[in-house]
Amino acid sequence: MGKIYSSAAEALDGLLFDGMLIAAGGFGLCGIPENLISAIREAGTKDLTVASNNAGVDGFGLGVLLESRQVKKMMSSYVGENDEFMRQYLSGELELEFNPQGTLAERMRAGGCGIPGFYTKTGVGTVIADGKEVKQFNNEDYILEEGIFADLSIVKAWKADETGNLIFRKTARNFNPPAAMCGKVCVVEVEEIVPRGTMDGDHIHLPGIYVHRIIQGDHEKRIEQRTTRKREEA
């Protein structure tokens, strides 16, 4: 069955429902599935739980779903750069499940591998451990973290072939592979789709078995924080 769809709205057709859990790739504004996020906003799907490292910025990325009040809960490791995220959280409008960054990535990867839980030292003795099972290995405490099994994964890749094999570009790989793995259905937006057999198998970062639907989109590639210096006078 063909995996290539003509638009983000078409690729998401029949997959969205209120109250669902979505795993979203990206780190800040790097490697975010901006076209799919925009299509979810247009669809109006609400009461969403979104597992993502952070929530974009005001007016871009996942920030647009916060502005439209479609997100009920975020599972994240970083909440900076987004005033609306902070405002909603501090006012009690938005639920937030904090995760150490590596723990969040491993929870996604574990879900993609069918692993319901794992033990980690990260967070032991902090609020992260509150309410979680603690077990000792070699006389050291570890806490139990659960794998993430999302209803839908939305990710961004650089290149895909017709079967869904993916290549990510440099740091834009970030959370995208584990996010793609942990969804019951994975929808990917890419910059280029190439014929099957034209990608070197040794260069593929994620095999197409994880990918169900693909779109080719236009991407803004906005700079999250622009840092400049004054030009030196000759």
- The per-residue pLDDT for range 36-89, each reduced to its tens digit, is 999 999 999 999 999 999 998 888 999 999 999 999 999 999 877 789 998 999
> Which strand (E) or helix (H) includes residue 72?
strand 71-76
- Predicted pLDDT of residue 224: 75
For 36, the token pair is 């799919």
For 37, the token pair is 């996020």
Assess contact for 26 and 189: CB atoms under 8 A: no
d(CA 189, CA 191): 7
The fraction of the chain above a pLDDT of 70, given in percent, is 99
- Predicted pLDDT of residue 234: 62
All domains of the chain, ordered by start, with CATH? Answer: 8-216 (3.40.1080.10)
What's the pTM? Answer: 0.93
Per-residue pLDDT tens digits for 162-179: 999 999 999 999 999 999
Backbone angles phi, psi at 183, to 5 degrees: -95, 145
Largest CA distance in the chain: 64
Per-residue pLDDT tens digits for 6-26: 999 999 999 999 999 999 999
